[in-house]
Amino acid sequence: MALRRLPGLVAVLGAAVAATGLFRRPTGEPQQVVTPRGQSVQLAGDGLYRFDTVFTAAGNTGVDAVVLTLGVPLLLASWLHHLRGSSRGSLLLTGALGYMAYVSANQALGIAYNPLYLAYVALFSASLFGFVSALAATDRATLQAVADDAGMPHRTLSRFLLTSAAVTALVWLQPLVSALLRGTAPALLDVYTTPVTYSLDLAIVVPAAALAGVLVRRRDPFGYLVAAPLLVTIVMLLPTITLSTVLQAQAGITFTAAEVIGPIAGFTVLGGIGAWLLVRLLRAVPTAPACQEVAGHVQTPV
């Protein structure tokens, strides 16, 4: 019952939040402030993200654009296919809701307080409970069929998930451990109290990717279910990182060539492999529920 309504609510809230962020994007002069740690940083100064730093505000705008143009349409398309009884649509819906839960968690917990705060909280709640409902509603026989599919690149998927977990942990832990040893705050913490994305990735995404990688290697059906939202999120990171970098440069953030080429090239590779694996995963899902009798009988929709 929840999946007949929650995805629609998530789509409406997600589109409204993203459209507002784009419509009220910063356009004025940045405001120089000194943080409690004595750092001099620039706030966006106006727009919805006026109390976020210039760097973060531009990144938020990039996320808004990707959510509105890709995230919400993906959610709606997968939801409609799910309502029509498509097993592939159901698995993709799990991925889309997982992505929206990840994005809205960062918004509700990480963006400086603004008039959309309650909308962020509502979106996070709807996305999270929709995601949990989608996980619980996924047909286990369908997942078993994926695990048994000889054409599915099981080893490649397992290695990709394990590598993604290791790389994410390494990339996030390096600045955190370095700052801890120096007795300083991590770079780009600026006016914020804690690095929310680091917290979510290290506490949830990294363990989930590692668990999914191990389970897929063992052909455990649950591993493929966990892999779906991780793959969708990885694919969505490519346009997000690319667009955010462009917007940050336009806002006056200075990057070296390596700082631009490195992340974009890296996420192009990850996004490309992730997209290929997501397509292979969906193709491995039976077009009809796996529990149907097909030998000598007329199939009856479940």
Domain residue ranges in the chain: 2-284
Residue 225 pLDDT class (50, 70, 90 cuts): very high
Closest CA to 49 of 70, 31, 71: 31
- Listed residue (90, 6, 3, 59) closest to 190, CA to CA: 59
Which of 35-39, 54-58, 167-171 is the least confident region? Answer: 35-39
d(CA 67, CA 153): 29
Place 263 in a pLDDT band, splitting at 50, 70 and 90.
Answer: confident
Cα–Cα nearest to 25, from 248, 277, 284: 248
Q: How many CA atoms lie within 13 A of 139 on its CB side?
A: 21
Q: What is the mean pLDDT of residues 73-93?
A: 96
| Secondary structure (DSSP) of 153-203 | -HHHHHHHHHHHHHHHHHHHHHHHHHHHHHTSPPTT-TT-SS-HHHHHIII
Task: Please state the separation of Cα 15 from the chain's center in Å.
Answer: 16
DSSP H helical ranges for the chain:
6-23, 54-66, 72-83, 87-110, 117-137, 140-148, 154-182, 196-200, 206-217, 221-250, 257-284
Find the range with the poorest average confidence among 65-69, 213-217, 266-270: 266-270
What is the separation of C-alpha 197 from the centre of its chain, rounded to a whole number of angstroms?
A: 11
pLDDT of residue 188: 82
198-211: pLDDT as tens digits: 999 999 999 999 99
In the structure, what pLDDT confidence band is assigned to residue 259 with cuts at 50, 70 and 90? confident
What pLDDT score does 298 carry?
A: 39
Q: Which residue has the tokens 């026989």?
A: 141
Q: What is the mean pLDDT of the chain?
A: 92
pTM of the model: 0.92
Q: How far apart are CA 302 and CA 297, in angstroms?
A: 14
Mean pLDDT of 34-50: 92
Tell me the C-alpha distance between 10 and 128, whole Å. 10
Closest CA to 267 of 227, 235, 232: 235
Mean pLDDT of 252-276: 91
Highest mean pLDDT (candidates 41-45, 119-123, 185-189): 119-123
